[in-house]
Structure 1
Amino acid sequence: MTEYVHKHHDLGEFRGLRRGDDVVQFRGIPYADIPGRFFQAQLRTKLPQTPFDATRPGPICPQNDAMPFPPLWQKSPDLLGPALTPPVADEFHCLNLNVTAPLSVLEGGEPCPVMGFIHGGAFMTGSASVQVGGREIYDATNLVHASITLKQPIIVVAINYRLGPLGFLASKQLKELNESRNEPIGNYGLHDQAHAIEWVSRFIAGFGGDPSSITLQGASAGGASCHFQAVSFSKSRVKRAILASGTALAIGAMPLDYHQDRYDALCRKFGEEQDDYVNVLQSVPVQVLVNEVSSVSKPLIDEQYITGRGMPWLKDVPTNVDLLIGSCEYEDDVTLAILGHFAPSPPTAVTLGNHVEAALIPSGVTSMTSKYFSPEMLNVIFRVPPYLIAGYDDTAAGKVYVYEFQAKSPYPNWPPGYDRSHHAVTDVFLFDVASDLVPEQHRNRWSTAVSELRSAWIKFCWGELPWEAATTDGGEAKLAYVLKDNKTWQSRPIMGDFINDKIAARWEALLRVAD
């Protein structure tokens, strides 16, 4: 592993890392500055110093570690790649990104498309440099190398953004704070992401990227983030988006009253009634603050970027962005952890209103929620939206391509997801940072699925639409594609092929009462 010096025509000199013969990686590049807690970030257009040391992971957002990344594998003495110390947490220096690029484009080759990667973690945890067993799960080296082998090279940009209360706390008081500064209200984490995308559009050409060909990709909350960016925050800068196991319906925005209740509950944890809780929360030690919030963070309906929720809102914000959108066969493994545990008795509309109704189905379904949803149907939250989105989007200029991922995780170290196509497993296949730890009996099926998934995603980044667009019939998507172990992508005509008859029947009943 050797250092690589790159002279960017606008930003100056970077010191990165050579990753093999054909890939170079630059880590921890700051893209925006945070002037204070609960303030909107400001785009950074200069490096803090030059040459800039981009050989180490950048700081990440402080977070509650109660929801770690699944321990898919243990540390191996034979690491593939650099031995990296875990990134440090730093509230005010966490807005940075990693650029992984083909050597050929850095040295004057034809500009290539860009994949902007947004990590998941329920808007609560995670980072672009999160490690499992000493390996960065989202290390893009192997993915970029695969794109070079396919003769369709891409640059991958993985971003960090604010999480939990630092990124998504909202209230009337914080609204007033942002308004007093003439800045957007709340959704700090989503605005961070938008700044990163703006930074890419301004400066990626200096790394050999094509700023007119940006594709966003993410899973779970990362997929929802990509959806929000594509339809509201950064749509003019984004050409395409790949939404995996997450959409703006699955992890949807909530109104100010919803956030106010949580804000008030948080304030009560820090003492008696006070006149200025904003000042209190701004002065609380950061780790104390993030540890006090353990529930899923939700974006805010801010009435400017996000003006509503569910299908009615999406119908009002058509986009030119092409969407490749889908889910995994077995979304249940971490869904309970992400959405909260329901009581064993049938859930009420009020209970699910905080999670499902507000994010998933058109407004006419509200009264039907308690009748048709139950805990075993939690995977519907992730598996139904692709079909709903494809079904309504007839008038949008962008096309929708629907998939179902059925290839299975080969890592037995995490029993809930082993031998299943579990929630967000597509990222594990896409980055493929631990192929040497795949058990022998799974290696053939694993390598086939990795190759197929990567090929489809890379082609999409290049504007080659890998399948036929989803056709619709009365609001129902009638064409999707499925990837199974040891198979190439296969077309399937109806959603019922992917979801059992019981769930499909309930889904159809919901559609009959939907707006």
Structure 2
Amino acid sequence: MSPVSMRMRCILPAAVFAFAAASVAAADSAPTVVTATGSLSGTHDAATGLNEFMGIPYAAPPVGPLRWKPPQPVKGWTGTRQADRFGPRCMERGLYDDMVFRSNGMSEDCLYLNVWTPAKSLNEKLPVLVYFYGGGFNGGDGSEPRYDGAALAQRGIVTVTVNYRLDVLGFLALPALAKESPEHATGNYGLLDQAAALRWVQRNIAAFGGDPTQVTIGGESAGSMSVSALMASPLSKGLMQRAIGESGSIISNLKPRPLALSKQQGEAFEKRAGAQSLEQLRAMDAQALLEVAGEKDVPEFMPTIDGYFFPKPPKVIYQAGEQAHIPLLVGSNSQEGKYTNLLNDKAPTPANYRAALEKKLGVNAPEALKFYPGKTEAEVKTSGTDFEGDDFIALSTWQWMNLHRKTGQAPVYYYYFTQARPAKRDGSAGADEGAVHSGEIEYALGNLSGNHVYAWRPVDEQVSQIMQGYWANFIKTGNPNGAGLPNWPAATSKDGGLLRQVIGADTHTIVDHHAARYEFLDRVEANVHL
């Protein structure tokens, strides 16, 4: 069944809640649920009171002839399937040193999700968070401790993490694949996986005490980009009621590639891999494909404007107001990039800074200096860090926020996360200067204690409590505000800027005046590869 034919199906009444009665009292009780495809046995955590179900298949294994096909339905099983450990993570090259996995190895057979639930009965109808990991669409896994769902689940939220295909196995586009597709589409298999997971939630989350009409999707970096994509796609935009985006969208400088370009790059990859046909490419070892994908000058595999998941460019969809009209909580961090990257580790002098901007922006460099001035060493460090962060991911985040605020017919809550992580426990590095890319995840999801690298301080715990409170309230109501939290107004115009919430040791509202610099970057993005 294709994603279109599976889209927007009703919740199956057969998805029955059957938690073992003893699970509330005994740590060794095995909670069970009956989903649309069969019975599952999970684990009960007596310390948290949660029932946890790991490694639940939401689609058929995308192997053999199903490699580079939209996700297919799971085959049902008899008896009770153990859901007490994370499934395998999707094939990846191991590009990121900050990823810690609890997965059961790595495999193409990786389309699994995980559920943490505080529910004790079928009738609770709790709000649901479905969270997608980051990693540039070529790394990451739902088992990472920083995405653990227990903390938010203890706040009354059924929390789900999802694996989706990555890299060449998730985003290869080829004319031969388009030819065999009923929709003449190719690429975006990882995004189609995510949409399939959301359909699984619609059919089955009631069995875990969740409410399929109160689903929030969230994610960081590539996960945030995925959220913006799912809101735009006609295949998925009706499957959620709220959205959270942490650093990144699929608009502006991170927009998907044109189909023709992706096909051209796919054909070049096929030739480089030594395959003479799609059949041969499907028969190749997955690890060998990843090795070719990692060779010099091979473009990264990213989303494509395929005419199916994306019927048109996402920016056009948002400009026309054709995206999901749902509340959005979105923002970025104070140090998404750093001036040292721009300067290629040269001294932060005004002359080096100007030369770096000229190399990157050409004739646009003088105008850039108006928005990112660098007349002193201190100014170079500040402006260079701002530029690198905007260039990398804050620009696309702002574009998403701004377009949805104008056309989304729903509130938008815009944040700026500033809490720098502390020194490392082993003394190998001091505290970060600002909030680095991905640095907010453990704070927002309540997982500081799961990250043993940093010497967390009471202030970090305080910031995490505030951030968890905002996230939990938004997931439950579409509004982050609640008792004991600093007031967070929706993003509305004021004093020539836009209301934005600074989240950190001093959480407060500011008027953000950075629209002009984002508009400048957006203008030059079309003509200059930033």
1:331 counterpart SS class: coil
**Aligned runs of 1:220-239 on 2, under 5 Å?**
220-232=221-233, 233-239=235-241
Q: Which residue of 2 aligns with 1:320?
A: 325
Give per-residue Cα distances to partners, 1:377-424, cap 9 Å, x unaligned.
231142233433343332322222111111122352685983531112
Question: 1:23: how far off?
Answer: 0.8
Q: Which residue of 2 aligns with 1:332?
A: 337
Q: For residues 117 and 279 of structure 1, do their structure 2 counterparts lie closer, same or farther at Cα, with a shift above 3 Å needed?
A: same
Report the AA paired with residue 125 of structure 1. G
Report the AA paired with residue 509 of structure 2. S
Structure 1 unmatched ranges of 5 or more:
72-83, 131-135, 148-152, 338-342, 351-366, 497-503
1:379 counterpart SS class: helix
Which of 213, 226, 242 is the matching residue for 2:244?
A: 242
Asked if the contact 2:395–2:521 (Cα under 8 Å) also holds between the matched residues in 1, the reply is no
Q: Which residue of 2 aligns with 1:306?
A: 310
Q: Which residue of 2 aligns with 1:142?
A: 151
Which of 167, 170, 186 is the matching residue for 2:170?
A: 167
Q: Which residue of 1 aligns with 2:56?
A: 29
Asked if the contact 1:223–1:246 (Cα under 8 Å) also holds between the matched residues in 2, the reply is yes
Greater relative contact order (CA < 8 Å, ≥ 6 in sequence): 1
Q: For residues 480 and 421 of structure 1, do their structure 2 counterparts lie closer, same or farther at Cα, with a shift above 3 Å needed?
A: same
Which of 77, 80, 94 is the matching residue for 1:65?
A: 94
Report the AA paired with residue 50 of structure 2. V
**Aligned runs of 1:26-425 on 2, under 5 Å?**
26-33=53-60, 34=62, 36-44=66-74, 47-69=76-98, 86-91=103-108, 93-102=109-118, 105-108=119-122, 110-130=124-144, 136-145=145-154, 147=155, 153-179=156-182, 184-232=185-233, 233-249=235-251, 251-271=254-274, 276-294=276-294, 296-309=300-313, 311-316=315-320, 317-332=322-337, 346-347=358-359, 372=368, 377-381=387-391, 382-392=393-403, 393-410=405-422, 412=424, 415=429, 418=432, 420-425=434-439
Q: For residues 469 and 514 of structure 1, do their structure 2 counterparts lie closer, same or farther at Cα, with a shift above 3 Å needed?
A: farther
Structure 2 unmatched ranges of 5 or more:
1-26, 343-354, 373-383, 481-487
Residue 472 of structure 2 is aligned to residue 458 of structure 1: yes
Give the fraction of aligned pairs with identical amino acids, expressed as a percent: 27
Q: Name which one, 1 or 2, has greater alpha-carbon Rg.
A: 2
Residue 490 of structure 2 is aligned to residue 469 of structure 1: yes
Q: For residues 386 and 401 of structure 1, do their structure 2 counterparts lie closer, same or farther at Cα, with a shift above 3 Å needed?
A: farther
TM-score relative to the length of structure 2 = 0.76
Tell me how far apart the structure 2 counterparts of residues 227 and 512 of structure 1 sit (CA, whole Å). 21
Q: For residues 324 and 98 of structure 1, do their structure 2 counterparts lie closer, same or farther at Cα, with a shift above 3 Å needed?
A: same
Q: For residues 396 and 221 of structure 1, do their structure 2 counterparts lie closer, same or farther at Cα, with a shift above 3 Å needed?
A: same
Tell me how far apart the structure 1 counterparts of residues 42 and 398 of structure 2 sit (CA, whole Å). 42
Aligned length: 452
1:173 counterpart SS class: helix
Report the AA paired with residue 205 of structure 2. I
Report the AA paired with residue 322 of structure 1. P
Residue 501 of structure 2 is aligned to residue 481 of structure 1: yes
Q: For residues 209 and 449 of structure 1, do their structure 2 counterparts lie closer, same or farther at Cα, with a shift above 3 Å needed?
A: same
Give per-residue Cα distances to partners, 1:449-473, cap 9 Å, x unaligned.
1101110011001114123221248
Asked if the contact 1:235–1:321 (Cα under 8 Å) also holds between the matched residues in 2, the reply is no
Q: For residues 415 and 164 of structure 1, do their structure 2 counterparts lie closer, same or farther at Cα, with a shift above 3 Å needed?
A: farther
Report the AA paired with residue 324 of structure 1. L
Tell me how far apart the structure 2 counterparts of residues 125 and 384 of structure 1 sit (CA, whole Å). 22
Tell me how far apart the structure 1 counterparts of residues 339 and 122 of structure 2 sit (CA, whole Å). 44
Superposition RMSD in Å: 3.4
TM-score relative to the length of structure 1 = 0.78
Which of 486, 490, 497 is the matching residue for 2:508?
A: 490
Tell me how far apart the structure 2 counterparts of residues 310 and 7 of structure 1 sit (CA, whole Å). 38
Question: 1:298: how far off?
Answer: 1.4
Question: 1:241: how far off?
Answer: 0.6
Asked if the contact 1:68–1:125 (Cα under 8 Å) also holds between the matched residues in 2, the reply is no
Tell me how far apart the structure 2 counterparts of residues 162 and 441 of structure 1 sit (CA, whole Å). 34
Question: 1:21: how far off?
Answer: 4.3
Which of 422, 426, 430 is the matching residue for 2:440?
A: 426
Tell me how far apart the structure 1 counterparts of residues 309 and 497 of structure 2 sit (CA, whole Å). 27
Q: For residues 283 and 333 of structure 1, do their structure 2 counterparts lie closer, same or farther at Cα, with a shift above 3 Å needed?
A: farther
